[in-house]
Amino acid sequence: MKKTEIRKKIKDKLKRQKKEEKFKKDEIIKEKLLSLSRFKEAKTVAFYVSVKGEVNTEALIDEALAMGKRVVVPIIVRDDLELREIKSRKAELAKGPYGIPQPAGKSVSPFPRDKVDVIIVPGIAFTRGGLRLGRGKGFYDKFLKTLPRRVKKIGLAYDLQIIEHLPTIPNDFPVDMVITN
């Protein structure tokens, strides 16, 4: 199956999820992530800001901030991702390119990539081995390649997003692990 076909098939499945089911799955994924020793030990965590259909990161961001972690989120600058630190999820986010919430204001300088300990990565589909299918723009693939190897790359997905085989190209960059419900 081609990437475009996989995206359509998985997006259709995601749309059919009932709100209550999705909430329960989000809670299971949240608890699994919070229980990881690598997450507990992390001083700085980069999160994606979830949009409709994705594993919800709002509670995870709030929890990480409450734990005293530095939280950074991506901002789209031209054709690349940069990181910005946030101190509060609600007060600092506004709709950015592609309708994705990102830190508002341009005065904040980029957060250094080498200071990140863990990055939470979105995806349309994943394999158990960590291959990832994004939305097709390549933002995360390019960005993940620039991170130090020590940074733990964790994908969040629902079980329905896990597939056996994913066609890849040399630019595709895997995650270290995938947490599912």
179 Cβ contact list (under 8 Å, min separation 6): 29, 32, 33, 36, 154, 155, 156, 157
In sign, the C-alpha dihedral spanning 51, 55, 61, 66 is positive
pLDDT digits (tens, 9 = 90+) for 55-95: 999 999 999 999 999 999 999 888 899 999 999 877 678 88
Domain containing residue 22: CATH number = 3.40.50.10420
Enclosing domain of residue 127: 3-179
Domain count across the chain: 1
For the whole model, what pTM was predicted?
Answer: 0.94
Q: How far is CA 121 from CA 20, 33, 47, 56, 105, in A?
A: 23, 12, 7, 12, 23
> Over the stretch 97-106, which tens digit does the pLDDT of each residue have?
888 888 877 6
